[in-house]
Structure 1
Amino acid sequence: MTMIDQEQLKRWRLILGAASEEKLQSFGAGDGMLDEESRLMDEALAAIYDETSGISADDGSNVGGPRKAGLGPSSPKLAKWLGDIRTFFPPDVVSVIQSDAIERKGLKQLLFEPELLSQSFITEPKKTLFILVSDLYEGGNRKEMIQRLVDMHQAGVKTICLLALSDQGVPSYDDAVAKKLAQYGIPCFGCSPEKLPEFIEGALKGHDLAVLAERVKHGKGM
């Protein structure tokens, strides 16, 4: 088998995942399809795209998969995973992988990674409204999350935190983090779906966010 054929099989192995390895070996690829660098790249991709890994932000568990640690928000593997994908892929690909990790694995803290913050919707800070929907119970680096929000706010982005609501419509959130953000001028409040368009309209018109938030809290019109 030529070197080109070996390289093609290695790429197909990375694209198709571990489940394809036995089949690809039947084409004569041999046991060592991936070198050390490719193996690390494969692990980084499998953490997000291998549905059998059972990795989620809820528990960081490893139910039903061969990997030994998850990418839960408090897992030390998360920092290594971020380092790996930044090593192996260009920034635009890294941002796609991070977006997929948010959607597929619930890793919301990746919203504050520089690749996502530097996408097109942040290129004009003074024209940008950034709404974080969260209960603020982040298991990752809380200090870093706060700093990223503060950086956006100070850069001119209209930054607010829309707190998660319970089934009874009562905000449920980390009060300490909410107060810390409020100290920096970032309003944190709960808002029912019917009030949200009104709030966004006021924010886009340049009204003071803190004043708008207080009106929402007290059920007053804009």
Structure 2
Amino acid sequence: MDDETIGSDLDPTEGTRERRWRLAIGADEESSSALSAEDRRLSAALDALYGDGSGDTDQRKRRGGLGRSAPRVSQWMGDIRSFFPEPVVQIVQKDAFERLNLKQMLMEPEFLKAIEADVNLVADLISLRSAMPEKTKDIARSIISDIVAKLMQRLEQKTAEAIRGAVDKSRRTNRPRQRDIDWPRTITANLRHYQPDHKTVVPEKLVGFMRRQRRLVDLDEVTLCVDQSGSMASSVIYASIFAAVMASLPVVRTKLVCFDTAIVDLTEELSDPVEVLFGVQLGGGTDINQAVAYCAERIERPTKAHFVLITDLYEGGNGKELLQRLAALVRSGVNVIVLLALTDQGRPGYDPSMAGSVAALGIPVFACTPDHFPDMMAAALRREDIGAWAAGADIKLVRTDAETPNAAE
């Protein structure tokens, strides 16, 4: 990458040429003080791939090897996309794929068996998929499919049980579906059929709940609107899986919209969560206002709608309009919730000023773990006080004052 690529949009003044060279060769601690905060971030992103990772300033030239400076690839690729145009991003992606030895590792069965299969790996593979050869891309898709299957197994049952709120427990039937069987009443009604030899009850009659028939138009509508910038990578993956699970349930209508500065509506792909993930473009800028406007236009019945915005609230678009749109949704009767992260750690970095402003609208703002998400959605569908639910789950909401800390505790 040459000095014409870095900062090519600026005038070729003496100061600009110096800046370009500092970015091209790598800024040490002394010279980095002459760079702006944005330039230091750019230098760090470049050094992660092209630096040698050593502390020797004479050796910190743009060479291959990530060393200990290797970042989470998905977040790092997000930084790269925010600094360079698409043709340069493609070059950097290809360099990363080769320099990180991902191609070689993905081709080795021993590596595939030993690899730590988690959402971070999914994010990394998705971030670099455009740089992968087709054969390697097929292997990556297989890995992602296996990880998604394991996550679905972990999360699907609890989500379905928590959200399936269409069971009318006031009416009973002797021909219930398996998931609607009332086991305590069934056992009580069949105690006379106890089999001592097998130490169990063999029920002759099942007692269960009558399922309430609901027309499609009566169903609650859930929209997950997810920020796909690099820092939100794990949240995107979990949100996609939850959206796929909810879309399979007949009791809610589920939509999934992902965004950066562009908007991708993945609702039609929800039957295949792997396909959903391959439709995600991790990294880039952020225009939350535009995404909220898109979703708001597609809400059909506000009083039956639940809008879950998953973002760190670092707005690259119009922040004032964003707050106005969220306020309008609340006034119209939409149940609005803002999740700063949907991750196992549940401790995100976020914009405290914007978070406080959103909370001041009466919108609950907090981070959520995947294990808490099903119960949170069930409480939302029942229109319960999410603040009270969060308190019961020992989750702290963002305060509305200016002293909100820059981390969810």
Q: Please report the TM-score for the alignment, with normalisation by the length of structure 2.
A: 0.29
Determine the C-alpha separation between the residues in 2 that align with 1:160 and 1:202.
11
2:331 maps to what in 1?
A: 154
Determine the C-alpha separation between the residues in 2 that align with 1:182 and 1:57.
31
How has the CA–CA distance of structure 1 residues 207 and 127 changed in structure 2, closer, same or farther, with 3 Å as cutoff? same
Determine the C-alpha separation between the residues in 2 that align with 1:172 and 1:186.
19
Aligned length: 133
Q: Please report the TM-score for the alignment, with normalisation by the length of structure 1.
A: 0.50
1:99 maps to what in 2?
A: 263
1:202 maps to what in 2?
A: 379
CA displacement 1:144-190 (0-9 Å, x = unmatched): 11211111111110001011267743132111111111111001001
1:62 maps to what in 2?
A: 85
Determine the C-alpha separation between the residues in 1 that align with 2:81 and 2:392.
34
Determine the C-alpha separation between the residues in 2 that align with 1:204 and 1:165.
18
Q: Secondary structure at the residue paired with 2:314? A: coil
- Residue 191 (str. 1) matches residue 368 (str. 2): yes
Shift of 1:128: 0.6
Describe how 1:29-178 pairs up with structure 2 within 5 A. 58-59=81-82, 61-64=84-87, 99-100=263-264, 103-104=280-281, 107-109=286-288, 110-113=290-293, 115-119=294-298, 122-164=299-341, 168-178=345-355
Shift of 1:64: 2.0
Is the Cα contact below 8 Å between 1:166 and 1:172 reproduced in 2?
no
List runs of 5+ in structure 2 lacking aligned partners.
Answer: 1-77, 89-228, 230-261, 266-278, 397-409
CA displacement 1:116-142 (0-9 Å, x = unmatched): 4211xx110111110000111112211
How has the CA–CA distance of structure 1 residues 183 and 58 changed in structure 2, closer, same or farther, with 3 Å as cutoff? farther
Shift of 1:62: 1.5
Determine the C-alpha separation between the residues in 2 that align with 1:148 and 1:210.
21
Is the Cα contact below 8 Å between 1:187 and 1:213 reproduced in 2?
no
Shift of 1:217: 3.9
List runs of 5+ in structure 1 lacking aligned partners.
Answer: 1-54, 66-72, 74-97
Amino acid at match of 2:349: S
Determine the C-alpha separation between the residues in 2 that align with 1:166 and 1:209.
19
How has the CA–CA distance of structure 1 residues 206 and 166 changed in structure 2, closer, same or farther, with 3 Å as cutoff? closer
> Which structure dedicates a bigger proportion of its chain to strand?
2
How has the CA–CA distance of structure 1 residues 152 and 137 changed in structure 2, closer, same or farther, with 3 Å as cutoff? same
> Which structure dedicates a bigger proportion of its chain to helix?
1
RMSD of equivalent CA atoms: 3.4
Amino acid at match of 2:85: N
